[in-house]
Amino acid sequence: MNDYENAIEIKGLTKRYDGFTLDNVSFNVPKGGIMGFIGQNGAGKTTTINALLNIVRKDEGEIKLLGLDNEKDEYEVKKHIAAVFDELPFDDRLNAVAMDKILREIFEEWSTDTFFGYMDRFALPRKKKFGKFSKGMKMKLQIAAALSHNAKLLIMDEATTGLDPVVRNEILDIFLEYLQNEENTILMSSHITSDLDKIADCVTFIDKGKVLVSGYKDDILDSHGILKCTKDDYKDIAPEDIISARLNDFGAEIMVSDRAECSRKYSGAVIDPATLEDIMIYYVNRGKKEWR
């Protein structure tokens, strides 16, 4: 593989559908990191991922995966990436032994030992048909398959959605283990922000087809905060400092994007740290400015 700094580089990605536009999406995922891709349902996460995988033809923009163009070098790129979807894409009538035989002929670097190593580790039966697997087992199987061909980039679309916390934790541990190799990178779309709170290095928020925030998670969490004040004090907050404000009977909770500056500007105001979930909710409501 060639040298690259960012495992994923997206510049000006645009895709127009009737009623929805993925509008000029740009962000990078640094090599060796895990990027959380957050947004509500219909925000454009899956469209972006499908465009990355060239399942969707983009209208405009440029996408580089592992330093290569995702269209021109499609098959070279796809040798080194793995995709994990929210649903198992393997026929219910297959079993792990058959799947190993299929995928080892497709991926040059497929490792049967690694695959069955993960199968054993996840306590997944080798000869049981996938149709008889539970949702958690199916997801573990998909991850086992994704990690068995020495993929440098793991792209996951809502992979942990619908899983119980125990399985989710187990899977997140596997991801952290995978990232021990500095060559490996993960892009993980999810609306379960607690998972990304745990493991993500970087975060990109998308809403209505537009990227709202993208950067290192710690920077985003450090810069954002929830300013709590009374209704009277709320009137004194400059509109440009407000992303959106949740009003209640007692006062207002305001999301600010420059916590340090706001602390200086509104001395005496309490500014609590924001979680990724808070940031997502306040950004989603930015159009309304005030909401309850």
Residue type, 30: P
C-alpha span between 156 and 83 (Å, rounded): 6
Q: How far is CA 145 from CA 26, 135, 160, 176, 287, in A?
A: 29, 15, 16, 17, 42
Q: How far is the CB of 198 from other proteins (least distance, A)?
A: 26
Least separation in angstroms between residue 145's CB and other proteins is 10
Nearer Cβ to other proteins (90/175): 90
Phi, psi angles (nearest 5°) of residue 191: -110, 10
The answer to whether the beta carbons of residues 204 and 34 sit under 8 Å apart is: no
**Shortest spacing between CB 155 and other proteins, in angstroms:** 8
Q: Compare residues 87 and 236 and give the one whose CB is closer to other proteins.
A: 87
Give least dist CB 289 to other proteins, A.
36
Q: Are 213 and 205 in contact (CB under 8 A)?
A: yes
Nearest to 94 by CA among 123, 126, 122, 118: 126
Cβ-based nearer residue to other proteins, 87 or 290: 87
Q: Closest distance between other proteins and the C-beta of residue 219, in Å?
A: 31
Give the whole-angstrom CA distance, residue 165 versus residue 188.
Answer: 17
- Residues at the contact surface with other proteins, assessed by CB under 8 A: 53-57, 75-76, 78-79, 81-83, 85, 87-94, 98, 101-108
d(CA 49, CA 39) in angstroms, rounded, equals 13
Between residues 146 and 274, which has the closer beta carbon with respect to other proteins?
A: 146
Nearer of residues 82 and 252 to other proteins, judged by Cβ:
82
CB closer to other proteins, 129 vs 265:
129
Q: Which residues contact 232 (CB under 8 A, 6 or more apart)?
A: none
User: Least distance in Å: CB of 84 to other proteins?
Assistant: 9
The residue among 208, 211, 215, 217 whose CA lies nearest residue 276 is 217
d(CA 79, CA 90) in angstroms, rounded, equals: 19
Maximum Cα–Cα distance across the chain = 68
Q: Among residues 78 and 168, whose Cβ is nearest to other proteins? A: 78
CB of 169 to other proteins, least distance (A): 25
